[in-house]
Amino acid sequence: MPLLVNAYSTLREALWPDFLPHAAVQHRDHADPELANHLHGFVGYVNQAGDGQMTQARYHLMRHVQRVRQHFSFEVDDSAFGDLAQWAEQANAVCFLADGSVRDPQGRVLISQSEPALDDQAQVPYPPDALERRAHHLAQLSAQVIRVPPSLPPVAGEGEARVRDAAAVTQRMLALFAVALRAEILAAGDAPPALDEVEARLPGVTAALSPQERAFFAEAHPEDQMLANFGWRYESLAVLQWALGLADTLPQPTALCDVPLAAQTALDHAQAPARMALTLRPLPELLDALDLHLRLH
């Protein structure tokens, strides 16, 4: 008897289950607004299924569902279970079955409504490069006698990561500079330039501000804690400058960044000609830094 499978893949691009006829597979991706609502409900289901106790497996599964980009629905015969397992492994997918269980790529039970029983060997899937990245950094930090929780999940793999282009990252870098500079000026008791003046000096910066940052610019007399919070944007600014190749290295987070250098670098790349020459570092390098700093923090 065919088994109905709903498969949830975290890959950025759809990997089609080619062991089935194309017409036999229903598919939607993140471009479908209904998928977000569906996944929100699915997270709630995972959170409450069974005894509802938060475990490492449940936490990792909830994170997987939150990162899903592709949803497939199809029926498979018993004879195709091997093909299903191989595809689910490659697609980094978990499968929801009609019995209410969520299975790992090998069909082992991650979550259920008490039946079928959970499998202690079940594992939420992660892309191989993400697992290798985590293992490398755990070994590196252990050699440096830096103890970090081994249960922290990997960051996104190369096939999962969604990265903004260099132009958008540059705009965001300049927005961080504008916010941090405003906080610094106000903390010193001076009058900062208005947002339209900042926009004239850093074209396009207004569009790259977050809602909280826009509110900060509208606040004439922000509290000290707000100034401190936004002053830390210099650290984020330095990281984005590294990502854009404007700094040779990303130092260990043991000291403050070089604020004058970061500020001058932002000013030097405020105009269009300088911006156009910027490119992002390769994706593996960005993910390496992300994974390492996740563990350090």
Residue 205: what pLDDT?
Answer: 95
Residue 122 lies in a domain: no
Q: At how many degrees (to 10) do helices 233-243 and 224-231 cross? A: 10
Tokens found for residue 166: 């260099």
Residue 224 lies in a domain: yes
What are the helix and strand counts (H, E) for the chain? 12, 6
Residue 10 lies in a domain: yes
Residue 175 lies in a domain: yes
Q: Quick one: 247 and 178 in the same domain?
A: yes
Q: Cα–Cα distances in Å, from 215 out to 23, 177, 179? A: 50, 16, 11
Residue 194 lies in a domain: yes
Residue 64: what pLDDT?
Answer: 98
Residue 85 lies in a domain: yes
d(Cα 264, Cα 128) in Å, to the nearest integer?
A: 40
Counting as low any pLDDT under 70, the low residues of the chain are none
Residue carrying structure tokens 């893949």: 9
Q: Quick one: 267 and 178 in the same domain?
A: yes
Question: What range does the domain containing 85 cover?
Answer: 3-111
Residue 275: what pLDDT?
Answer: 86
Q: Cα–Cα distances in Å, from 88 out to 15, 92, 181, 228, 231? A: 9, 6, 48, 46, 45
Question: Among residues 89, 111, 133, which one ends one of the domains?
Answer: 111
192: exposed, middle or buried (C-beta count within 10 Å: 0-12, 13-18, 19+)? Answer: middle
Q: Quick one: 85 and 176 in the same domain?
A: no
Query: How do residues 222-279 score in pLDDT, each as one tens digit?
Result: 999 999 999 999 999 999 999 999 999 998 888 899 999 999 999 999 988 888 889 9
Residue 248: what pLDDT?
Answer: 92
Residue 120 lies in a domain: no
Number of domains comprising the chain = 2
